[in-house]
A = this chain, B = another copy of it.
Amino acid sequence: MPHFTYTDLHTFTYNIFKKMGCPSHDAELAADVLLKADLRGVDSHGVARLVGYVRLWEKKRINVRPAIQIVHETPSTAVIDGDGGLGLLVAPFAMKVAMEKAHSAGTGWVSVRNSNHFGIAGYHAMMSLEKDMIGLAMTNASPLVAPTFATERMLGTNPIAVAIPADQQPPFVADFATTTAANGKLEMLQRKNEQAPLGWVQDMQGNASTNPHELSKGGALLPLGSDRDRGSHKGYCLGSIVDIFSAVFSGANYGPWVPPFVSFLPLSKDPVGEGIGHFLGAMRIDAFRPADEFKRNMDQWIARFRSATPVADQERVLIPGDPEREMESIRLKEGIPLLEPIVEDLTALAKRFDMSFIE
């Protein structure tokens, strides 16, 4: 598989956002957020999505000169209107507001409407770490997931990220879709022509299936837990909570009304809100406990869990964030691998803007 340096892909992505009309500092930040996904191994949310953002912009569903605004606030909360901007920019704006609120009130909680897809949730949650704050980020997304006992797609993969600082240990960073598996993993199986494990998807009648193409035939992704016996109603609860905090709090579209990321699908004719919604949170550690005490305890927590006895066929027990951090350090050194179809997409995208893709 061809590999590309972070710098080359970042520069290319920056240039594309500039060509779309983003101001330089916006193009820079949007490229940072997108490329962070590639670095951390979340290939489905990185530069592979750049073409998708461009197509939404071509359909005038993304505003590259948004006036992002606080429309309501209290000491610890705010609602932000993203003015149809890139979620890659709206979410960091909102996270900064959450952190300012946390600075003065102890915690800050921001619900966002009228936004678009925001890349990986982890990027936004991790913004809090250097300020000795815990960061939370969630977003709703276009409906691909059937609630327990349903055949209809009602929820997105609605991810949750939580970043918690430690002292000597690297931070605890959880970042996961509230489904059994993220849609990106399913797309990888489609490309490789492999079957999915049972519990990832159901067919259009709601039967368990291992066919990774089930979504194109009216099937659905399954909530974390897979089926009722194994707790899928809990994954359904989690996805619903993300949807409500992100969209009912803010006045964005929710549930089956959330607009699609793919530009060839039409927008709903009876929207219940504006754009998609996010929810960002920041909690100042020393609003609870002196930060050094907390971080020493986190070091102990992490060290103890990392030293838990592993099962026979595994070397070790992982801490949330370990795999992504290790991937980031490898890819910074060895480059970011891109599948051939992605390289072709990006080459065509370059041509569309009279540029060339990385030589």
Contacts and interface: CB of A to CB of B under 8 A. Distances in A.
A320 interface: yes
Give the number of copies in the complex. Answer: 2
Interface string A128-149: 0000000000000000001111
B318 A233 contact: yes
Contact of A74 (B106, B172, B254): B106
A314 B304 CA distance: 44
A16 interface: no
A109 interface: yes
A162 B241 CA distance: 8
Given A248-B301, A301-B255, A72 B311 contact: no
B76 A76 contact: yes
A301 B229 CA distance: 25
Contacts of A235: 224
A1 interface: no
B288 A77 contact: yes
Interface string A93-117: 0000000000011110101000000
B304 A255 contact: yes
Contacts of A236: 320
Interface string A256-290: 10000000000000001100000000011101110
A164 interface: yes
A75 B106 contact: yes
Given A289-B251, A298-B244, A309-B151, A230 B74 contact: no
B233 A311 contact: no
B320 A231 contact: no
Contacts of A72: 288-289
B231 A176 contact: yes
23 contacts: A72-B288, A76-B105, A77-B107, A107-B107, A107-B109, A111-B288, A147-B305, A147-B308, A148-B317, A149-B311, A150-B311, A152-B308, A174-B238, A178-B234, A180-B231, A199-B226, A199-B229, A225-B226, A226-B226, A233-B318, A248-B294, A248-B298, A255-B305
